[in-house]
Structure 1
C-alpha cells in the first residue's frame, strides 16, 4: 500500500475530447451524489462493479489488436487485467462492509450492462478518450474515498474491523479497521488514475 501517492493530481483538459471526457465524468458524479448522498459504502459497492469493466474491456481489445498486428503490447494487457482484478477486489471487500439492497443489486445489473456496451463502443472509436474517461473517473474515486475516510474518522460511520479478505490482499495488520481499507483502496484508485491518463497521453502522442 502506497500512502505517499499524490491524491490531488488532476489532468487539465487539453482539447475537445478531454473536455467531453471530463464533462461526462462530472455528469455521472452528479447522479451518484444524488442517489447515494453520504452512503459511501453502498456507493462503493455499486460503482466498483462498473469500475472493474474498463480494464477488462481494454485488455481484451488490446489483446485482439496485438494479435491482428502480430506485435508486442508493451505490457498494456497485463496492466489492464491487473486493474480489473484490483477493482473486483474492491467490490468483494465492500460487499462485506455494506450489503447492497435489492434496488442496488438491480442498479448494478442495469449500470454494468449499459456501461460495458457503451465503453466497448467508445474504446473501438477512440481508445485515447476511453482511457481519459477512466482517468477522470479515478480522480472522482479518490475524492469520494477521501470523503468516506473523513466520515469514518469523524465517527459518522463506524470504523468497523477490516474484512479478512482485505487484510490478506493489502497485507494490512491484523487489527486493521475500515479506515485502513479506505486508505489502501484510495491509493489503488490514484494509481489507476495515473496509469489511464498516461495511456491516454501516449495514444495522443502516437
Structure 2
C-alpha cells in the first residue's frame, strides 16, 4: 500500500509540469501530459483497490500522508532539475514494484495469503470477471507496473538522446 501511495505521485507531478510548460510555450505535448496523468490515475486505482483489501488503520493513513508529502516535494524538485533522471528513477521504482507483486503472487500461490474475492472497485476498473480473485487483481496490477516501467524508461531515453518528450508520441491508452 505504501508503495502505491508513492507510485501515484510521479505521473501527476510530471503531467502537471508538462502541462504548465505546454501552456507557457503554446505547444503540444505529444500526448505526454495525458500519458502521465493516466499513469497517476492508474496508480491511484491500485491504491484504492488495495485499501479495500487491507483496510488500513488510522496511523497507517497518517504515515501515508507524511511519506506522500515528502516524496511529492522531492520528486517535484527532482523533475525540475532533471526530467531524465526523474523518469529513470520511476522506471527503477516500477521494476521494484513488479518484483514485489511477483513475490505477492508466490505467497498467494503458496497459500500464505488468502486469495479472497476481488473488490468491486477492481472488477469495475479492470473489467475483470465477477468471480475474479485477489490473484487476478495482482496480475493486472503487475502488468500495469510493467507498462509504467517501460513508459518511464522510454521518457528518460528520449531526454538522454537530447530530445524533448513532445518530439516523440507518448504511449497513450493502454488501459
Matching of residues 46-195 of structure 1 within 5 Å: 46-195=2-151
Provide structure 2 residue ranges, at least 5 long, that are not aligned to the other structure.
163-175
| Contact 2:3 2:97 (C-alpha < 8 Å) held by counterparts | no
Q: Which runs of 4+ in 1 moved over 6 A?
A: none
Q: Distance in 1 between matches of 2:131 and 2:141?
A: 17
TM-score by length of 1: 0.77
1:101 Cα offset (Å):
2.3
User: What's the RMSD between the two structures over aligned residues?
Assistant: 0.8
State the distance in 2 between where 1:106 and 1:174 align: 33
Q: Which runs of 5+ in 1 are unaligned?
A: 1-44
Cα distance in structure 2, aligned partners of 1:106 and 1:72: 38
Q: How many residues align?
A: 162
Whole-angstrom distance in 2 between the partners of 1:113 and 1:176: 34
SS of residue matched to 2:29: coil
**2:162 matched to 1:201?**
no
